[in-house]
A and B are shown apart, each in its own frame.
Chain A
Amino acid sequence: MATPAVLLLIAFVAVPFLAAIGFSLYNVRLGDPRDPNFMGVEQYARIFTDPNISAQFLSALLHNLIFAAIVVPVQTALALGLALLVKKTIPGVGIFRSLYFLPVVFPIALVAIIWRLILARGDQGLLNSALAFFSGGAFGAQDWLGSETTALASVIVLSIWQGCGFQMVILLAALQQVPSELYEAAELDRAGPWQRFIHVTIPGIRTTLVFVALYTMILSLRVFDQIYVLAKSGGGLNEGATRTVMYEAVTAAFDQNNIGRASAISVVFFVIVVILSLIQRRATRNQEG
């Protein structure tokens, strides 16, 4: 009974994964009449040290790390804040629960295009108009996606908007598991809201918080769709300031037909994901034990 699933997983996960390791050792190209040459770890050496190639790859890696360094704390904190807001069963709270979750059902390609228009440069974009309106014209129009300094930040904002509701729902489920007696006991001890938050809420959901943070970190490494849409579909995104590891892998494979290098990037990407997953497993297990 397990046969169909096992065969599918072999054909579409296990074999491609082993092939990635294999391809990364050769100069594989699609439609190349010559047989691929064995290159050993040359592809890896190139993406990390060849001055013509490594700068681009290392900047992609850096963008993923900046992305993760900002998105993980900000999105987790925001999701926790929203979860606390919608945890109380007061009239109308269900509407807000759905509202915060709504962007999660939006395909990220669509999200990128909506935000591309909101962030449009000059006074055309909604954000620039709003800022000019509320500052009485003091705040000049920005080219949010095109400028080197704000491009990555803009992508981060739209990614948090789309993903936050997902984390909120997970944290909300954890918050509801914290026994209410603990809050009552803390209240009897005259603990204020902040003390209750630090001494009851946070310890009560620590395992889930760690899970959410590391899960968000892995998602941050996988970022591709929004960068690709904004850079390739007339979004005017500053490519140099936002390229990510997956964007590098896809452009190497698709635009440059360099399957060998793209595979090496995929393998490096996978190694980073595994390291983070292992940290995640260990962290959540320790908390439970």
Chain B
Amino acid sequence: MQTTTAPARNINRRRLTAYVPHYIALLVTGTLFLAPVAYMVAASLAPANKTLAGFEVFNVSQWGLHNYAGVASSLSSDSTGHLWQFFAVSFTVTVAVVGLGLIVNSMAAYALSRLQWRGQGIILLAILMLLIVPFEAVAVPMFYLYNDARNTLWIQIVPFIGNALAIFLFYSFFSGIPRSIDEAALMDGAGPWKIFWRIIAPMSKPAYASVAILTFLTQWGSFLWPVLMISDPSLRPLPLQISVFAGQLPPAWGQVMAFGVLLVIPVIVVFLIFQRWFIEGVASSAVKG
């Protein structure tokens, strides 16, 4: 007994000590990655005069929730915009873009991968070409063309529903589903709509999850388009509002950081719940894109 366990234990111990440098590397990089987040949280809790006072921001004994109360009272009039409004705008825009985008883009991908229609090949080619047009390249002309729609909710939503990358990701996923499955359903008399909603869509949950997460991340952080189109405080999404809030004089940095914490909590919660999908979604966008 002893002769067999002793070497085994030795190997285990050797393995563990071999991991010490590994853990040190993880901890050092981990600390560097966490430091800015820790600073944001600390600054949101520290007294206003300690936000920009070096390490004093981490003095836990002085922490409190006054910045959170402050941000709620600073942003509570029509001229500054109401705190709840910024959240309502960001939630509405993100949910609408993600939800409608999933429906519209997966339908298009299904039609392109499964149905026979005139112009199919050209449309597919055109969508592949649109994949390389970054939003930044069309932001300026869109600012001019849709100027009449400035300060509306719909101009923050509608332009981002149709998405070439989403169509492409759905298209690659659907193309991997054996055709025998929809042919069998066709034999049973199901039409294309029924095959799509009852068979293809339910089989493609991973694709829906990936696209939902990628769209959600981009949309929640969207900044360039709101800068160009939104000046009305009641229609400002969160990222635009935090830049406005940070630019006001005199700056209330503790409150700005409290606003930052509130802004990022919903994404972190979604991230923690759907972590596996986040990571697979990001990875799949690269493998296929």
Q: Say which size band chain A's interface belongs to.
A: 35 or more
Determine which of B39, B115, B123, B140 lies in contact with A250 in the assembled complex, contact meaning CB atoms within 8 Å.
B140
Q: Does B63 contact A (CB under 8 A)?
A: no
In contact, B159 and A12 (Cβ under 8 angstroms): yes
The prevalent SS among residues of A at the interface is helix
Determine which of A17, A103, A116, A246 lies in contact with B141 in the assembled complex, contact meaning CB atoms within 8 Å.
A17
Q: Does B253 contact A (CB under 8 A)?
A: yes
Q: Does A170 contact B (CB under 8 A)?
A: yes
In contact, A8 and B158 (Cβ under 8 angstroms): yes
Q: Which residue of A lies closest to B114 (CB)?
A: A1
Residues of B within 8 A of A104 (CB): 217, 282
In contact, B137 and A266 (Cβ under 8 angstroms): yes
Residues of B within 8 A of A263 (CB): 140-141
CA distance A227 to B36 in the complex (A): 18
Residues of B within 8 A of A19 (CB): 141, 144-145
Stretch from B1-9, B50-58, B203-211 at the A interface:
B50-58
* A107 and B238 in contact, given A19-B141, A173-B286, A211-B286 (Cβ under 8 angstroms): yes
CA distance A110 to B167 in the complex (A): 30
CA distance A126 to B37 in the complex (A): 13
Q: Does B136 contact A (CB under 8 A)?
A: yes
Determine which of B39, B104, B134 lies in contact with A218 in the assembled complex, contact meaning CB atoms within 8 Å.
B134
In contact, A273 and B132 (Cβ under 8 angstroms): yes
Residues of A within 8 A of B271 (CB): 98, 101-102, 105
CA distance A102 to B112 in the complex (A): 36
In contact, B144 and A23 (Cβ under 8 angstroms): yes
Stretch from A47-55, A85-93, A143-151, A179-187 at the B interface:
A85-93
Q: Does B19 contact A (CB under 8 A)?
A: yes
Max chain A C-beta neighbours (<10 A), residue from B26, B30, B279: B26
Residues of B within 8 A of A233 (CB): 243-244, 246-247
A227 to chain B, nearest CB (A): 11
In contact, A5 and B167 (Cβ under 8 angstroms): yes
Determine which of B39, B53, B159, B193 lies in contact with A114 in the assembled complex, contact meaning CB atoms within 8 Å.
B39
In contact, B108 and A1 (Cβ under 8 angstroms): yes
Stretch from B68-76, B80-88, B174-182, B255-263 at the A interface:
B255-263
Interface residues of B in 273-289 (CB under 8 A from A): 275, 278-279, 282-283, 286-287
Q: Does A241 contact B (CB under 8 A)?
A: no
CA distance A229 to B245 in the complex (A): 11
Q: Which residue of A lies closest to B249 (CB)?
A: A234
Determine which of B140, B253, B272 lies in contact with A259 in the assembled complex, contact meaning CB atoms within 8 Å.
B140
B interface residues with partner A (beta carbon < 8 Å): 19, 22-23, 25-26, 29-30, 33-34, 36-37, 39-40, 43, 51-55, 57, 104-105, 107-108, 110-112, 115, 123, 126-127, 130, 132-134, 136-145, 147, 158-162, 164, 167, 192-193, 196, 217, 220-221, 223-224, 227-228, 238-240, 242-244, 246-249, 251, 253, 256-257, 260, 263-264, 267-268, 271-272, 275, 278-279, 282-283, 286-287
> Can you list 7 pairs linking A and B with CB atoms under 8 Å apart?
A12-B159, A14-B126, A23-B140, A85-B22, A105-B268, A218-B134, A229-B243
